[in-house]
Structure 1
Amino acid sequence: MSALNILFAAVAFATAAVVVWLCVRWHRLSKTEGYKRLSARTYAWCLSFAIIPVAFGVLCLMDYYKGSPLAPFLLAAATIICAMATLHRENGKTFLRTARDFVSAYAPWDSRPRKMRAPRFLSAPAARIRKAHAARKARRDERLSAREASDGKPSAARAWLHGTFAPWAKTDLVRLAVAALFAFVSLEICWHVNLVWMNFLSRLIDWAMVLLAMGAMYFLFQRRSWGAIAVAVALYVLGIVEYFVVVLKGSVIQAGDIYALGTAAAVSDGLKFDFGGTVLLGAIALDLCFLALQRISPVVRRSAVGLDSPADASEAAAAAPTDPSATGEKDAAPSTATAPSRRTGHRVLGVVLNVLLACACAFGAWGTTHAAYAWTQFLGTKFWQPVVAYSDHGFLTSFFSMWYGMPIEVPRGYSQQKAKTIEKKLAKQYDSSDSAKTYARAKAQFDQVKPSVIFVQNETFSDLSKFYDIAYTGYTGPEYFNSMSDTLSRGVLNVSVVGGGTCNSEFEFLTGNSMAYVGTGKYPYNLYNFSKVNSLAKQFKSIGYGTAAIHPNIASNWNRDKVYPQLGFDQFLDINDFQGAPVFHNGVTDLATYQKILELIQNSDKPMFIADITMQNHTGYDKNNIPADRLTNYQLKNVSAYENAEFNEYVSCIKASDEDLKVFIQALRQLNKPVVLVFYGDHQPNISSNYLNDSVYPNEDKSSLAHQLRAFKTQYFIWANYDVAGTPAKSTNKEMSIGYLSSYMMELIGAPLSNHQKANLQTMLKMPFLTLMGYSDTNGTWRESSTELTDPSISGDSAATKAYRNLDMVQYLEFGSKVKH
C-alpha cells in the first residue's frame, strides 16, 4: 500500500466524519440558535453524501486508486459543500450566516465574531439587484390584478392547470434538468474528459435521454425523487464500467456486450481494477446531481399551506372554526362527510395523471434514442473506431446508434436468386482457373490420406516486432515461430478485433464469413443461432471426421456451450476437463491443451477436426505473476514504467507460448498419423491500441485508418507433418484476412471446397484483404468498410468495389439470411 493511498484514505474518512459532525452540530444549533428542526429525511440525505468517501477510503486502503492526487481533495470539498447545502435548504437564514453559526456555535457569546458584512463594492450591486427584482414583482402583481379585474375569475381549465402544474413546473422541472445534466456528466467524465469537444447536438441528445428517463421515473414514483436517484446511480455505475472497459480492453461497451455479460464476468479474474481521478470527478458530479434531486418533494407539501410539521397541523386543526356560521355562510352545510371522498378522488386522479405523464416521458426517451441513431447516420459516423466515436458523440448516443444497427443489413438489390447466381459464377470462375488444377492434385491426395486437421487459435498471439519499430529494444519476436521454414504457408493475418472479441476471429475462421458484413459492436456467437449456418466442423463431419473443440475455461464463455453443437462439434472440452492442469499467467498452459489434442487424435479410429481456443495469454498484463527467470526486461521509449512492465509481461507470455508450440510441433512430427495444423493469433493485446501504437508513431494521425490498422494484425501458419501435393518445399509467405484463411487452408490441403469457399478464393484475387476495419484493392490501398463502398463512384476502384458488393451478396445468402437477431 502506497503512502499516498494511506493519505487519501485518511482524507476520505475524515470527510465522512465531517459530514456526521455537521449533522450533530446542526442538531445542537436547532436548540441554541433557533434553527429549524430538520426531518429525518434531510439528515438521511446529508449522511448519504458520506457513502462515496467511505467507499473511496476503503478502496484506497486496498491500493486500487492510481489517479491524480488532486481528485480526492476535490471530492472531499464537494462532499462537505453538498452536505452543508442539504442542511441549509430548510433554513430561512443566508448560507453565509449559517456557515458563521456553524463555526461559532459553541464559542462564548462575547468571543463570537461580529456579524459579517459584505464589502461595499458588493453591497451596492446587490441592492440594485434587489430593487430591480422588487420592481419586476410589482409589475407582475399589477398585471395579475388587472387581468382579474377585467376577466373576473380565471377559467376552470386555467385554474386546474395552474393548480396542477405550478407547484412543480417552476421548481421540480428545473431541478430535474439540472440533475440530468450532472448525471450525464457523471457518466461521461468517468472514462473521458473530452466533454468540451463532443458534438454539441449529440451532447444535447444525451442530456435529453437522461432528462426524459428521470422524468419518467419522477412521475412513476408520484413526483418523488427516488426513481430519478436510481437513474443517476445507474448512469454513474455505467460510467465506471465504461472506464474499465476502455482502460483494460482498449474498447467500449457496445450493443453486443449486453449478450456477453457472463463471458465478461468469467474472464475478469485476470484483470486488475485500478482506477483514476476521473472516476472521482464522476462521483463529484453524482453528488451535485443528488443535491438537485433532494430538493424535489412530494407534490402535497405542508409548507404550501403554512404547516411546517405535524404538530403545526394539529394546532391549525384545533384552531379552525367548527361552526358553519363562523365562515360567514349561514346556510353552509358541514363538509366533513364529503371531504374524505373528494380527497380520495383527487388522489386517484393524481396517480393516473402521473402514470400517464411517466408513459409520455418514457415514450419521449425512446424517441430520443431513435433521434440519436438518425443523427449519427446523417453525419455518417464510422464505428470501426468505437472509442473515437463514443468520445465524439457521447456514450448514450453512440450506444443506441450501434444498437439500432445490430440487425444485419440486407445488401442493396439483394435477392436470393441473384446471390446464388453470383456465388455459382464465382465458383465456376475458380473451377476454370490455374489454382483449380493445383487444387485437383492436392484433392486426390487428401481423399486417400484423410489427415486430421487442427486449428489453434492462440490467445493474443502476435509478433509485435513485425508491426512496430521497436528493434532498439532488442526484441525480435517468438524465436521458434519465426524460424519455421517448412510450413505450407505463413504470413500476416488481418483481423477484425484488438484487445478482445476473441469469438469474432473464431467466427470468421470457422464459417468463412467476414465481420465487415456483420457490423461493428456485434458478437455473432451471442446473437445468432448457427444451426443453419455452414461451418468447417459440419463440412468435415459430412465426410466422416470426428469433431471436437477445446477451450480451457468456462464453457459458457461467448455462449460456446450452445454455439459449438450448432456449428457441428460433437465434443467440447472445457475447464472441467483440465482439473489439475498446469497454469501460466492467466490460464491453463498452451501445452496442456496440445496434450489433449494428441490424446484425441491417438484415441480416435477416424480422422479428427479439432478446434483449440487457448487461454494462457489472456489480457491483464499487470499481474506480476511471471517467474523472475522467465520474465523479459526490454525497455520501450516514450512509455511509463507501468506500461513498460505490461509490455514485458505480455512478451514473456508469447515466449512461453512459443516454447510450448515447439514441443507440440515436435510431437506432431513423430505422430504416425497425418496431421494438418493451422495456427494463428486471434488479435493483438490491448497494450497495442492503448499506448504502443501511439508511442512508437507519435507523429501519425491517431484517427487515420493506416494508423489504426497496425493494431489489427497478427500472424498465421499452415503446416503438415507430411508432404502435401502441389505445395512448394519452402514456406510460401502470403498475407491475408482471417475470413479467407479457412478457404485458403482447404484449398492448400485438397479438402472439399464449397461454392462459398470458392467464391472467397476468387474474391481474394481482386480484394485481397477484408476485415471490419476496411478492405484493400490489389494495389494495397485500404478503404473503410461501409455500405457506401458498394458505390463505384465513391470507392474509386471498380474491380475491388464489385468484388466487395458480390461477396456482400454471397455472405448474406450464406449467413445473414440464415440467422435471426
Structure 2
Amino acid sequence: MLVAIISFAATIASIVLAVREVRGWRVNATATSSSEKDATPAKTERVPYRASSVAWALAFLAIQVFIGVWGALGLVQDEPIAPVIMNTVLTGCVYLSLARPRLRPRLLALFEPGSRWPHPQAACALAMVATGIFATLALELPSNHNLLWMYPLCLLLEIFLVTAVVAGFFYLFQRRGAASAIASFVFFAIGIAEYFVITFKSQPIQPGDLTAIATAAAVGGGYVFSITSFCLYGIVALALAMITSAYAALLKPDRTSRTRKQLLVNLLVGVLCLGGVIGHVVLIDYYNFLYIQVYTWRPLESYYRQGFIPSFISSAQTIQPRKPEGYTKSDAQDLIDEYAASYDAGTGATSERSEAVEQFEEVQPSVIVVMNETFSDLSDYDNLHAGYEGPEFFNSIDDAVQRGDLYVSAYGGGTCNTEFEFLTGNSMAYLGNGVYPYTIYNLTHAENLAQQFSDLGYTTTAMHPNHATNWNRENVYRDFGFDEFLAIEDFEGADTLRGMVTDAETYDKIVEMLETNDDPQFIFDVTMQNHSGYDTGLIPNDMQTNYLIDGTYDPEVNEYLALIEESDRALEEFLGELEELDRPVVVVFFGDHQPFFPSDFNDAWFQGEDDATHSERLYRTDYVIWANYDLAGNEQQSQQEDISTNFLAAEVMNLIGAPLSDYQKAQLALRESMPAINMIGYQDQAGAWHLSSAVADEHATEAFSAAQKAREDLAKMQYLKLFDHGDSVYTKTLQGAANETNPNLAPGTTKIK
C-alpha cells in the first residue's frame, strides 16, 4: 500500500505541474498575440510540439497510475526507496514533456552557427546513444540485479545492438521520438517478461519459448504477477530513454525547412542501423566466433553474465540442428545395426527376455503411461530441513517391475521436452538450449510409441486435461499416429483442484476406457493437477501441509507438497483399482520435471560439489514400472535402476516382452556404456556424471572414455532418425500451416480429435 500512496501522491504532483505549465502556454500565447501587429487570436494560434508534448506527458502519467493501482493490489514490493526514485523521475518527465515547446528555442539556440556545441545531427546521434544505454538498463535491471557482474564486452555488445535498434527506428521515422520510445518500451517489456519467466520457472526466456506463447498464456492463470523494486528501477531507465527521445526529436528541422536530402539521409541512416543489426545477427556465429555460449547446466548465469540479447541470439542460432562431427548417413545406420546386433547377442538372447516375449504375444497387456505434472520427491534435498519424507505411497511400492531416479531435460517447466524424450526415445542433449521440438521440428518421421503400439494392433489414446493447442500437441499427436486425443473439452464437469482437473479424474477416465474396450490399449496421460504456480492459496484446509523449512513456513513449498500428497493418494487408489481389473495392465508412472524453487535449496545446502553432480540433482525426478499380473522373466521386487527419459520407453518395451525397433535395441545396448543422458550431461558406467562439454583425455577413466564414445555414437544415430529424412527440418505449424494429413495413420483409424 505504501507504493500506491507514493505513486498516487506523485501523480497528483505531476498533474499540478502539468496544469501550471499548460496555463503558461496560454499566458505566453496571449502575450505574444497582443504584442504583434495583426496577430492571430491566441485561441487559434498553433504552436509546434504542444499536442505531442501532451501525449508524452500522458504516457508518463499512465505509468504512474498503473504502478499506483498495481501497488494498491499488493503486487509491488512494499519499500519506499524505489517508488520514490521512480515517481520523482516520472514527475520530472511529465514536467519536461510539457516544457518542450517553451524549451525548444533555447535548445536550438545552443546549435546556432558559432556555438561550441556539436551540430544538431551529432547531438541527435549522442542522444540515441544515451537512449540505447537507458533502454539496455530497462531491459536488464528487472531480472539482472548486478550489471557489474556482466562481462564488459558483452555489455558493450548489448548496448551497441539496442542503440542500433532505437536509433534505426528514430531515423527511419524521420527523427520522431515516439519511434525510438516505442522501441525502448519493447525492450523494457522483454525485460519484465524475462523477470516473470525467471520468477515462475527459474529459467530465462529462450528462443523456443516464442513458439509456445499460446501455451504459456493458457496456463498462466495460476501465477501472481507481482513486481520488485528492480522492476521499478527498470521503469526509471525506460522513462529516461523516453524523455531523451522526446528531446532528440526537437532537434529536427521544422517541416517547412526540411529538404529531400535530409529525408533521404534519415532514411538511409535508419536502414543502415536496422540492416546492420540483422546482418550482424545472421552472419556472426555467437557460439564459435564470439564465444557467447549458454551453458545448459546454468543458463541463468549465462544470461546474467553475457546479457539477455547476446545470450538469446546465441541460443537462437543453435536451434538449427547441426550434423555431428564426422556424420554420414551410412555410418549412422551402421552404428544402429552394430548396437542392435550387440543387444540381440546379449540381453535379447537371455531366458528372461524370451519368457517375456512369449508372454507378451499371448496376453497383449494394455500399457498406461502417466506423465505426472511436476511430480518429484523433494526429500532428496536433505528432507527440506523439515523432516519431509517424500510421497509416502509412491516410495513404499515394493512390487514394481522396476523403479528408480529418472533424469530429465526440463526444470521448472518445459513438460513437452520430457514427453518428447519418452515418446520418441531421442535426447534433448543434442538439440540445444531452449529448444522445444514439439513446436519447432518436423516430427512426422520420428519413431514413437504411439506408432509402435498402433502397428501391434493397439488402440492408442493421448490424454491431457487442458487445451489441445498447448505445446502444439494436437498436431504432434496426429503426426505420431494417436487414434484419439482427449483434451479439456472431454473433461467437462470433472473435479478440479486449484482450477486444474485432478489426477484422479484422468485415472477414472482410463479405468472407464479399459472397462469398455477389450482391445489392448496404449494410453498416454499427461496430467495437469500439479502445475505451477504454487501461491494460489486454493488448497482446501483438509489437504494443506505445514512443513517448516529451517523453522520457516513457505506457502509456495507447502502448496506444492500438498499437491504431491494428493497425487500420491490418487495413484494409490488407481493402482488398487487396476489390481482388481480382470485384464493385464502395465503402468509407467513418472514426473516430467521438478518445480522451480529447489534450485535455492540446492545452492544453499549442497555447496562445494562439482558442476555436473550439483546440476543433475535439479534434473532428476522418479519413475516406476508396475504391472497387475506376474510378468514373466521378472521378480517384481521393485528393482532399482536409474535411467534417463529417452531410454525409458525402450526399457519398458524390453521388460514387458514387446517387439523392439533396431533403434531401441541400439539404445539398450548403448546404455551399458552410458546409462543416462540429458541436456546437462551424461553418466558413465561407474555412475559418475559429466557435463555435456566434458572431453576425455589421456587421464580419463575407461568408463568416462567409453561413455563419451557412446554419447558421440548416439548423436549420429539420433540425427539420422530425427533429421536426415529429406523433408524440411521444421514443423509445418511453425511455417504457418497446420498439418492436414497424417502419413502414420493406417486406413480406417479414427481421426484424432
Same topology, TM > 0.5: yes
Q: Is the 8 A contact 1:508 1:739 kept in 2?
A: yes
Query: CA 1:587–1:300 in structure 2 vs 1: closer, same or farther (change >3 Å)?
Result: closer
Q: Counterparts of 1:281-360 in structure 2 under 5 Å?
A: 281-297=233-249, 301-302=253-254, 346-347=259-260, 349-360=261-272
Q: Is the 8 A contact 1:15 1:50 kept in 2?
A: no
What is aligned with 2:517? 604
Match of 1:563 among 476, 485, 488: 476
For these two proteins, the number of residue pairs brought into alignment is: 705
What is aligned with 1:224? 176
Alpha-carbon distance between aligned partners in 2 of 1:795 and 1:182, rounded to the nearest angstrom: 51
Q: Deviation of residue 399 (structure 1)?
A: 0.7
What is aligned with 1:69? 80
Q: Counterparts of 1:647-686 in structure 2 under 5 Å?
A: 647-686=557-596
SS of the residue 1:379 aligns to:
coil
What is aligned with 1:246? 198
Alpha-carbon distance between aligned partners in 1 of 2:335 and 2:278, rounded to the nearest angstrom: 40
Q: Is the 8 A contact 1:508 1:514 kept in 2?
A: yes
The TM-score normalised by the length of structure 2 is 0.89
Q: Deviation of residue 278 (structure 1)?
A: 1.1
Is 1:396 the counterpart of 2:305 in the alignment? no
Q: Deviation of residue 526 (structure 1)?
A: 0.3
Is 1:521 the counterpart of 2:428 in the alignment? no
SS of the residue 1:470 aligns to:
helix
Q: Counterparts of 1:346-495 in structure 2 under 5 Å?
A: 346-347=259-260, 349-370=261-282, 373-374=285-286, 378-379=290-291, 381-384=293-296, 385-434=298-347, 436-437=349-350, 438-465=352-379, 467-470=380-383, 472-495=385-408
Query: CA 1:395–1:776 in structure 2 vs 1: closer, same or farther (change >3 Å)?
Result: same
Match of 1:693 among 590, 599, 602: 602
SS of the residue 1:192 aligns to:
coil
The code of the aligned residue for 1:464 comes to: L
1:576-627 alpha-carbon deviations (Å, 9 max, x no partner) = 0000000013510101001111122222231001100000000111011111
The code of the aligned residue for 1:355 comes to: L
The code of the aligned residue for 1:273 comes to: F
SS of the residue 2:247 aligns to:
coil
Q: Deviation of residue 352 (structure 1)?
A: 4.1
Is 1:809 the counterpart of 2:716 in the alignment? yes
Alpha-carbon distance between aligned partners in 2 of 1:612 and 1:799, rounded to the nearest angstrom: 36
1:623-682 alpha-carbon deviations (Å, 9 max, x no partner) = 1111111101010028x65xx111111110000001100110011101111111100000
Alpha-carbon distance between aligned partners in 2 of 1:571 and 1:230, rounded to the nearest angstrom: 46
Query: CA 1:88–1:298 in structure 2 vs 1: closer, same or farther (change >3 Å)?
Result: closer
Match of 2:556 among 637, 646, 668: 646
Alpha-carbon distance between aligned partners in 1 of 2:248 and 2:483, rounded to the nearest angstrom: 60
SS of the residue 2:89 aligns to:
helix
What is aligned with 1:12? 7
Query: CA 1:497–1:303 in structure 2 vs 1: closer, same or farther (change >3 Å)?
Result: closer
Q: Is the 8 A contact 1:777 1:800 kept in 2?
A: yes
Q: Is the 8 A contact 2:292 2:306 kept in 1?
A: no
The code of the aligned residue for 1:65 comes to: V
Alpha-carbon distance between aligned partners in 2 of 1:91 and 1:794, rounded to the nearest angstrom: 74
What is aligned with 1:615? 528
Alpha-carbon distance between aligned partners in 1 of 2:255 and 2:442, rounded to the nearest angstrom: 60
Match of 1:754 among 661, 680, 685: 661
Query: CA 1:747–1:295 in structure 2 vs 1: closer, same or farther (change >3 Å)?
Result: same
The code of the aligned residue for 1:74 comes to: I
> Which sits farther off after the overlay, 773-782 or 546-555?
773-782
Q: Is the 8 A contact 2:53 2:100 kept in 1?
A: no
Alpha-carbon distance between aligned partners in 2 of 1:370 and 1:761, rounded to the nearest angstrom: 40
Q: Deviation of residue 780 (structure 1)?
A: 2.0
Alpha-carbon distance between aligned partners in 2 of 1:809 and 1:447, rounded to the nearest angstrom: 33
Q: Deviation of residue 368 (structure 1)?
A: 3.4
Alpha-carbon distance between aligned partners in 2 of 1:720 and 1:549, rounded to the nearest angstrom: 20
Alpha-carbon distance between aligned partners in 2 of 1:375 and 1:785, rounded to the nearest angstrom: 15
Alpha-carbon distance between aligned partners in 2 of 1:778 and 1:82, rounded to the nearest angstrom: 64
Is 1:262 the counterpart of 2:214 in the alignment? yes
1:284-334 alpha-carbon deviations (Å, 9 max, x no partner) = 0011001110012277534998xxxxxxxxxxxxxxxxxxxxxxxxxxxxx
What is aligned with 2:189? 237
Q: Counterparts of 1:88-107 in structure 2 under 5 Å?
A: 88=99, 91=102
What is aligned with 1:204? 156
The code of the aligned residue for 2:3 comes to: F
SS of the residue 1:296 aligns to:
helix
Match of 1:776 among 683, 707, 713: 683
Q: Is the 8 A contact 1:222 1:298 kept in 2?
A: no
Q: Counterparts of 1:169-188 in structure 2 under 5 Å?
A: 169-188=121-140
Is 1:60 the counterpart of 2:71 in the alignment? yes
Query: CA 1:290–1:284 in structure 2 vs 1: closer, same or farther (change >3 Å)?
Result: same
Alpha-carbon distance between aligned partners in 2 of 1:620 and 1:241, rounded to the nearest angstrom: 16
Q: Deviation of residue 815 (structure 1)?
A: 1.2
Alpha-carbon distance between aligned partners in 2 of 1:499 and 1:92, rounded to the nearest angstrom: 52
Is 1:279 the counterpart of 2:225 in the alignment? no
Alpha-carbon distance between aligned partners in 2 of 1:810 and 1:290, rounded to the nearest angstrom: 53
Alpha-carbon distance between aligned partners in 2 of 1:685 and 1:815, rounded to the nearest angstrom: 29
Q: Deviation of residue 372 (structure 1)?
A: 6.8
Query: CA 1:563–1:67 in structure 2 vs 1: closer, same or farther (change >3 Å)?
Result: farther
Q: Deviation of residue 402 (structure 1)?
A: 0.5
Q: Is the 8 A contact 1:208 1:368 kept in 2?
A: no
The code of the aligned residue for 2:230 comes to: T
Alpha-carbon distance between aligned partners in 2 of 1:471 and 1:52, rounded to the nearest angstrom: 41
SS of the residue 1:498 aligns to:
coil
Alpha-carbon distance between aligned partners in 2 of 1:484 and 1:300, rounded to the nearest angstrom: 76
> Which sits farther off after the overlay, 625-634 or 468-477?
468-477
What is aligned with 1:120? none
Q: Deviation of residue 471 (structure 1)?
A: 6.4
Alpha-carbon distance between aligned partners in 1 of 2:708 and 2:63, rounded to the nearest angstrom: 55
Match of 1:25 among 17, 20, 31: 20
Q: Deviation of residue 425 (structure 1)?
A: 0.2
Q: Deviation of residue 13 (structure 1)?
A: 1.6
Query: CA 1:493–1:278 in structure 2 vs 1: closer, same or farther (change >3 Å)?
Result: same
What is aligned with 1:81? 92
The TM-score normalised by the length of structure 1 is 0.82
Q: Identity percentage over the alignment?
A: 38
User: Unaligned regions of 5+ residues in structure 1, if any?
Assistant: 96-132, 142-165, 306-342
Alpha-carbon distance between aligned partners in 2 of 1:66 and 1:294, rounded to the nearest angstrom: 30
Query: CA 1:303–1:529 in structure 2 vs 1: closer, same or farther (change >3 Å)?
Result: closer
Q: Is the 8 A contact 1:790 1:804 kept in 2?
A: no
> Which sits farther off after the overlay, 504-513 or 289-298?
289-298
Q: Deviation of residue 169 (structure 1)?
A: 2.7
> Which sits farther off after the overlay, 539-548 or 74-83?
74-83
1:389-429 alpha-carbon deviations (Å, 9 max, x no partner) = 11111111111111111011101111110000010000001
The code of the aligned residue for 2:65 comes to: V
> Which sits farther off after the overlay, 41-50 or 401-410?
41-50
Q: Deviation of residue 197 (structure 1)?
A: 1.1
Alpha-carbon distance between aligned partners in 2 of 1:471 and 1:619, rounded to the nearest angstrom: 19
Query: CA 1:282–1:567 in structure 2 vs 1: closer, same or farther (change >3 Å)?
Result: same
- Tell me the C-alpha RMSD between the 2 structures: 2.7
Match of 1:48 among 55, 59, 77: 59
Q: Is the 8 A contact 2:400 2:637 kept in 1?
A: yes
Is 1:582 the counterpart of 2:491 in the alignment? no
Q: Deviation of residue 755 (structure 1)?
A: 0.8
